[in-house]
Structure 1
């Protein structure tokens, strides 16, 4: 992952990261409030050795003392030292229970022993520290070697008496909260990165670019009312979503496919990616700009164009291909522009054979001579081969990719199926793009707020006022050629 990928992950997962950070802070604060405060008290003992006073004896004594200090500090947590403490203070515990509360340290190159006691009772902590230092002094005098007079050669002196502490050493609320925040942030970032790594769905243009070098020619924002108003360019031509289809139309005009013709097959990897509504709105947008357009429903398995465009779909493309009807008989003029709709007709038993037939090739050749744009709504690529067969005969295929729904593997397989038959991929249209957050379809960056052009505005208004079906079926092509 690159730096921008991590930034995108943080932007997409900021809510999760923030929630986990707050959970970490709350957990740390709760722990600090629940935990009983612990107090610490320390006493200090000085270790010395009795010598004759000569320089050599002093040096030897000092070395001997430093060697003994470590031994004495380890002796502090033993029962021989702690049992007298328990007895003198009348503590209700054993030496094994008291030992974890007592810590002895000996700073390097010194003859000092610090005895620290931690307890929930500050007074008891100080008493145990003082009693332990005294007990250690007594024990060392008893067990160490003595001189000829029976006096111990090592002497321990308490140089610091433990005082009753006023503030607890634990819990440290600021430190705990800071650690909780860091743990929450680390956990949130880790989960966000892991989720992004395991997420194999296409969400942005970058995901598409990693699969194919063909351009993304459009992005259509998600609309939760799309099923209620599929033809948004006609119903609400001034909406940002309608403008996105006009942007798609403009981008399509600048595609250089090297064929001179403008025959496009709109398809997708799997079903329900918005291809049918996209191609229908694109056709209306092209019509409003004055282009001669024919919209053909080539989905001979689950046709939808007739339903969306509100035309009679009982006869259509299949009737033309088998010679049972002419194009003039079954095509429907639509609106008041130069647009014609050709429904699929009856569902045949052999859709792939019909779409790959010589009759289909001849029909495409005829339509390319009479229309500026020939648009096919084809079935998805992965379930059936219809779209790949048809795309090979057209100028190019446009793949609709549903953001957050289409899997990268599905898109890669769809691209491969087109490349395997030698079809040209004209580009991709990302549908259902989020309107907020990372990867959102940003209308503002295209300057939509400046208003529409006069031509488009008038054409769009005319399309709204126009009836969905006008004229007779006969003479459709003659009307489109005007």
Structure 2
């Protein structure tokens, strides 16, 4: 993932992050308020050894003291030291319980011993620390006495700092707890947001498509909640951003793979350079139903027809045809009737208004759609249509439920795969691409539909347009544009 991807994840998961932060801070605050305050007091004891003034004796005494002080640290929490403290302060505790409240430490390379006591009562914590230091002094003197007659101990403990009554509790540390709660909540929120994004297998952005197929993204159509009532946005609202997106798609489609002469040249009339031209045919399909395939086909056909080209849209979905209904045309007779020889092509091809868009409806729903679309008669029909029209768009069924689109893509220039953002899953797109490649065809381009207009995944106008060509490709694009214009003029005169 790139930095922009992480930023997008954070923008999408900001609500989760905020909730976890609030919960973390709330738990930290509740814990701080519910926990009884604890006060801490410390006393310091200096450990020394009685030696002569000789330098060697002083050095040996210093080393001896530092060696012994480690033992005194462990001695502090023993019953022999704590029992007198309990008796002297009248504590209702056992030595084991008091040991949990008392600790000792010796700073490195010093002969100081620091005794710390904790208690829920501020004064009591100081009393325990001082009493423990005093008791330790007595116990050490007793244990270290070697001359029974003189009762003299070579080690001397002197309290150099008395514990004072603390003014504020050492625990809970409310500011620290709240900061920790905030950081933990923030970390958990980010982790949940990233995990949620990782587990989300839907196609959301162009990066998801690029990770599946090398086919270029030739168009991006935003989601329109009113598309059901006005499917032909190019005709109904030609100045809208959505209509402009279809015109951008048209432009990208016209110059798709301009370096491949086989996509432009095959048969038909010769252009001014002596090169024979034919129309281009694309299968419009998707992974599953309800991805906007038919409305995309209809609007793309209208956008192409506005350039004075002769465009044919073939309703090749022989199972659930919708295109004729979207365009408001009669669909009782059409492709199936032509394939079985019942009618002539010219009898069922309908012109949409006064435009250069022609439509071949599906006709009657046959019992064997795949066989009809894969027949030799269909292949000959495709070849004939490419000779008569500049562009032929086949509105085919989805790829995963049936094989009709894969069969058609084998005998056309390729497929334009419609992918609905936020609805189609990555494994579905992978399977659809694999089906097309298995029949020896290819995905010519991907059209993303239902792109969001708000939020971190919002589609920006022009994002997929005018970005695929430059340098020599731009020069080649200009040459092919002249060819297309000349061919359109000849078609119109004919």
Output the TM-score relative to the length of structure 2.
Answer: 0.85
Write the deviation string for residues 354-407 of structure 1: whole angstroms up to 9, x where unpaired.
Answer: 111122122223322332221111011122211111112222210001112222
Q: How does 1:130-149 map to 2 (within 5 A)?
A: 130-147=130-147, 148-149=149-150
Matched, 1:259 2:263: yes
Contact 2:85 2:135 in 1 (8 A): yes
Unaligned runs of 5+ in 1: 448-478
Equivalent position of 1:48 in the other structure? 48
Give CA deviations for 1:192-249 in whole Å, capped at 9, x if unaligned.
3333333333222222222222211000112233233322222322221222111111
Contact 2:410 2:440 in 1 (8 A): yes
Q: Which residue of structure 1 aligns with residue 368 of structure 2?
A: 350
Aligned to 2:242: 241
**Alpha-carbon shift at residue 282 of structure 1 (Å):** 1.0
| C-alpha contact (below 8 Å) 1:130/1:161 kept by paired residues | yes
Query: Could you tell me which residue of structure 1 aligns to residue 408 of structure 2?
Result: 390
Separation (CA, whole Å) in 2 of partners of 1:435 and 1:15: 19
Match of 1:312 in 2: 330
Which residue of 1 is the match for residue 345 of structure 2?
327
Question: Whole-Å Cα distance in 1 between the matches of residues 66 and 299 of structure 2?
Answer: 91
Aligned residues: 452
SS in 2 for 1:393: coil
Tell me what 1:161 maps to: 162
CA distance in 2, matches of 1:348, 1:446: 38
Distance, in Å, in 1 between the alignment partners of 2:112 and 2:132 is 15
**Who is 1:121 aligned against?**
121
CA distance in 2, matches of 1:118, 1:229: 76
CA distance in 1: counterparts of 2:317 and 2:463, whole angstroms = 35
- Structure 1 partner of 2:196: 195
The SS at the match of 2:213 is: coil
Shift of residue 160, structure 1, vs aligned partner: 0.8
Which residue of the other structure, out of 377, 398, 414, is the alignment partner of 1:359?
A: 377
Corresponding residue for residue 206 of structure 2? 205
Q: CA offset at residue 7 of structure 1?
A: 4.0
- CA–CA distance in structure 2, aligned partners of residues 430 and 232 of structure 1: 16
SS in 1 for 2:409: helix
For the 8 Å contact 2:219–2:464, the answer to whether it is kept is no
- Uncovered stretches (5+) of structure 2, i.e. residues with no partner: 265-278, 466-490
Q: Is it true that 1:283 corresponds to 2:301 in the alignment?
A: yes
Deviation of 1:2 after TM superposition, in Å, equals: 4.2
Distance between the aligned counterparts of 2:327 and 2:420, measured in 1? 22
Q: Distance in 2 between matches of 1:345 and 1:27?
A: 67
CA RMSD of aligned residues (A): 2.4
Q: Deviations for 1:122-146, whole angstroms, at most 9, x for unmatched residues?
A: 1111111111111111222223223
Q: Is residue 239 of structure 2 the alignment partner of residue 221 of structure 1? A: no
Distance in 2 between the 1:346 and 1:380 partners?
19
Structure 2: how far apart are the matches of 1:88 and 1:324?
116
